[in-house]
Amino acid sequence: MTFGERSREAGRMLFYAGKNWITILGFLLTTGTGVSMVIFWGQELVSSRPIHPYAGILLFVMLPGLFVVGLLLMPLGIVLRRRKLKHTGTLPTIYPQVDFTQPAVRHLLLGVGLATAANIIIVGTASFKGVEYMDSTRFCGLTCHTVMQPEYTAFLDSPHSRVGCAQCHIGPGASWFVKSKLSGTRQLFAVLFKTYHRPIEDPVKNLRPARETCEQCHWPNKFTNDKLYIHTKYADDEANTPSTSVLLVKIGGNTALGQVGIHGFHMAAGTTISYVSTDAHRQVIPEVTYRDKTGKVEVFKADGFNAIPAATLAKGETRVMDCIDCHNRPTHEFLLPDRAVDNAMGAGAISPTLPYIKKKAIEVLKVNYPDRNTARQQIPAAITAFYQSSYPAVYQQHQDLVNQAAQSVLAIYLRNIFPAMKVTWGVHPNNLGHDDFPGCFRCHDGSHTAADGTTIPADCDTCHVLLAQDEKDPKILKELDLTQ
């Protein structure tokens, strides 16, 4: 048989065996989903509203899925029908003639050709749009609503709220994209079968080395200048007595130039700091290894190192320090109640003129509410009831301030606490600083000593100049003309 005869024979076979319900169903499915996708894409182009995450799943994941199923059903129907005919011995040795001179047949062929071309375009567009959608912040943050609610809420309230989840969690390049989709598939099953951890565990295992993601935007050669840090705390007395700390944080200079300040010492080219941690949150660090530019290596061991059982050390994690060993909460920061209330009081959202408001707010925030809705009812009610019964005159005169404070305390709760995911006060420690969590003092505690007796520096002026510590009306703020 010549090639022409063979392809004519195959064409006739396809025509003959193609008349079966599986192939026709595949054809209908492909056409139906294909047309709906094109209509949706058109609508998406003209609509200004973002797509709801569940509609997104339908549109970008399920419809293309059905489309591909349809495409696969078409040849499958033909194969199955041929096999069946062969089995029953009714497969014709010569297929009925297909008369290409008939207009109906030619139209059909033209239709199939055009549909195939359209299908290729649709599959291409659908995969592109699907990938784009699955990298979008709304997909990551909203699809598994309860599971991601804590991280998404914190993200929306952070300096990075306009940075996509994928820019930190995946970063550029194809290999991390594939890795993330594989782990994403695992996570999808974890969500379906509710086997995920509550709270979602930190640190994130296998997070991409931070320098490959953060440094896409933050250029280490530009980490210059010191930073003025001002923080006011309020006491839990009747007057909510304020005290302010003012520091000049030595963030440090150009890491390419070498060791200046905080960034310079940890991130300078040619130096590495690695450490062993023995707990799940990398909070306990018994051993630190420091290799400087000249290649000199120093191993610092914490007091009590020799008392640590060998088995505990062997199970420990060894890690090279990067950005997220300090900035582990650049966008998912969960505050402790003290700091959250201080911040709200400093900003005026909770008025410091209300007697005992600091103490009362903390007390109300620390109650273990079964869910967020209960908190929505009980927190504002508890604050108002306190002033109604203990300070009726204040309540009469400043009802607006009391109501505002009540709502602000509730807002602090809703921003930080997610009982359904077991995210409560302090479950996600922040490593930047040392006031609320061990942070820098995990290593800079004066107890980490090398063989030659030197320690990782822990003097109070190593990392910042203390311009004022817990002072009422610090003089320095007047000198800098920074008082309100």
Among 29, 323, 354, 357, binds ligand HEC (CB under 6 A): 323
Label residue 453 exposed, middle or buried (CB < 10 Å: 0-12, 13-18, 19+).
exposed
Please list every residue from 157 through 186 that binds ligand HEC, using CB under 6 A: 159-160, 163, 165, 167-169
Q: Between 327 and 398, whose beta carbon lies closer to ligand HEC?
A: 327
Long-range contacts of 339-342 (CB under 8 A, 24+ apart): 339/435, 339/436, 340/365, 340/412, 340/415, 340/416, 341/234, 341/365, 341/409, 341/412, 342/231, 342/232, 342/233, 342/234
Beta sheet of 287-291, edge-to-edge order? 297-301, 287-291, 272-277, 317-320
Shortest distance (Å) from residue 153 CB to ligand HEC: 9
Stretch that binds ligand HEC, among 12-20, 78-86, 223-231, 367-375 (CB under 6 A): 223-231
Q: Tell me if 375 contacts ligand HEC by CB under 6 A.
A: no
The closest of 381, 354, 378 to 367, measured between CA atoms, is: 378
Q: Tell me if 468 contacts ligand HEC by CB under 6 A.
A: no
Stretch that binds ligand HEC, among 45-53, 117-125, 323-331, 365-373 (CB under 6 A): 323-331
Among 25, 66, 112, 249, binds ligand HEC (CB under 6 A): 249
Among 275, 386, 395, 437, binds ligand HEC (CB under 6 A): 275
Q: Tell me if 469 contacts ligand HEC by CB under 6 A.
A: yes
Among 286, 330, 380, 429, binds ligand HEC (CB under 6 A): 330
Q: Tell me if 463 contacts ligand HEC by CB under 6 A.
A: yes
Between CA 92 and CA 86 the distance in angstroms is 9
Shortest distance (Å) from residue 414 CB to ligand HEC: 17
Stretch that binds ligand HEC, among 9-17, 197-205, 382-390, 392-400 (CB under 6 A): 197-205
Phi, psi for residue 384 in degrees, rounded to 5: -65, -45
Between CA 243 and CA 76 the distance in angstroms is 76
Q: Tell me if 437 contacts ligand HEC by CB under 6 A.
A: no
What type of residue sits at position 349?
A
For 252-334, where are the alpha helices, taking DSSP H only? 261-267, 310-315
For 92-245, where are the alpha helices, taking DSSP H only? 103-134, 137-142, 145-156, 165-169, 174-192, 210-214
Shortest distance (Å) from residue 214 CB to ligand HEC: 3
Stretch that binds ligand HEC, among 26-34, 81-89, 109-117, 225-233 (CB under 6 A): 225-233
Q: Tell me if 360 contacts ligand HEC by CB under 6 A.
A: no
Among 173, 229, 239, 473, binds ligand HEC (CB under 6 A): 229
The closest of 244, 472, 243, 237 to 355, measured between CA atoms, is: 237
Please list every residue from 98 through 137 that binds ligand HEC, using CB under 6 A: 137
Could you tell me which residues are beta bridge partners of residue 249? 227, 464
In the chain the first and final C-alpha atoms are separated, in Å, by: 95
Between CA 23 and CA 304 the distance in angstroms is 73
Among 71, 74, 134, 325, binds ligand HEC (CB under 6 A): 325
Among 31, 36, 183, 331, binds ligand HEC (CB under 6 A): 331
Instruction: Lay out the site mask for ligand HEC across 404-433 (x = CB under 6 A, - = otherwise).
Output: ------------------------x---xx
Q: Tell me if 467 contacts ligand HEC by CB under 6 A.
A: no
Retrieve residue 280's tokens. 């799940």
# residues near ligand HEC by CB under 6 A: 77
Q: Tell me if 262 contacts ligand HEC by CB under 6 A.
A: yes
Q: Between 7 and 469, whose beta carbon lies closer to ligand HEC?
A: 469
Please list every residue from 280 through 309 that binds ligand HEC, using CB under 6 A: 285, 288, 290
Tell me if 289 sits within 8 A of 273, measured CB to CB. Answer: yes
Q: How far are the Cα atoms of 15, 21, 80, 104, 243 from residue 97, in angstroms, in the given order?
A: 10, 22, 22, 14, 96
